[in-house]
Amino acid sequence: MLSLILAAALSASAPSDGTYTYVASMNGTQVEKTTVTVKHDPSGKIVLSESASGNFNGRSGSISDALTLDDSLAPVEYSALASIADSRSMKAALAFTGAQAIQSGDVSKTYDLVADAKHFIVLDFGPFSGYFVLPAQMQAWKDAPAIAIVPMYGQGVPIVVDKTVVAQRPKSVPATDAHLSVSTPVAFTIWYDPKTLLVDELDVPSQDVSVTRQSTP
């Protein structure tokens, strides 16, 4: 019993188990709706399962993905499958082994932790799960630099939280929300509840994209 209590105390905080719905808009028009389901398993791992569908430039599509994290919120494995109308499906998988991440699927590639990065994160194109858990990861890792892997593009890029950003709070975001901002390679800001670590909004100004959480009725 004592070992279980100690394990729980040492585990990093993350959003509670449940299903959360988000709507993505571009230039003020809804382009995607996604649900992220959070589940802690008995071993201490956290599984984020996502299902999304939408329409972009007149083409409909769907995405499903699963991101598994250990009790420190480091990624253990990731898989994604995207299907776009009148086009082939795209699939990607990641396996993490210490200082390396190995991608398979449509792209075969190995990523390394470089410079002062101590962690990998997953910020895929289309799926939202990586952004959903990012505030919790950065809190657990004290905003340490990380390598963000974008499997759909087969890229790994350094990501650092920019604490100098003074973000303008959207009207829809609660006054108690904190924000996490990244300036490069693409600037974005995540607004989240600092107590629950639940993301309320993601804004990408350069692409006029916003992803907002829908309240449960």
Could you read off the pLDDT of 123-161 as tens digits, one per residue?
A: 998 899 999 999 999 999 999 999 999 999 999 999 999
Distance, in Å, from the CA atom of 206 to the CA atom of 188, rounded to the nearest integer, reads 8
Least confident of 31-35, 56-60, 96-100: 56-60
Spell 141-168 as b/e; 16+ CB within 10 A means b: beeebbbbbbbbeeebeebebeeeeebe
pTM above 0.85, yes or no: yes
pLDDT of 23 over the 80 cut: yes
Average pLDDT, the chain: 91
Pick 216 or 35 by higher pLDDT: 35
List the beta bridge partners of residue 103. Answer: 94, 109
Given pLDDT bands bounded at 50, 70 and 90, which one contains residue 5?
very low
Residue 3 has pLDDT above 90, yes or no: no
Quick one: which H or E segment has residue 140?
helix 129-140
What percentage of the chain reaches a pLDDT higher than 90? 82
Neighbours of 215 (CB within 10 A): 7
Average pLDDT over residues 200-204: 97
Q: Does residue 139 sit in helix, strand or coil? A: helix
* pLDDT given for residue 115 in this prediction: 82
Mean pLDDT of 97-122: 94
**What pLDDT is stored for residue 118 in this prediction?**
92
pLDDT of residue 87: 73
Query: In the chain, what are the domain boundaries?
Result: 2-213
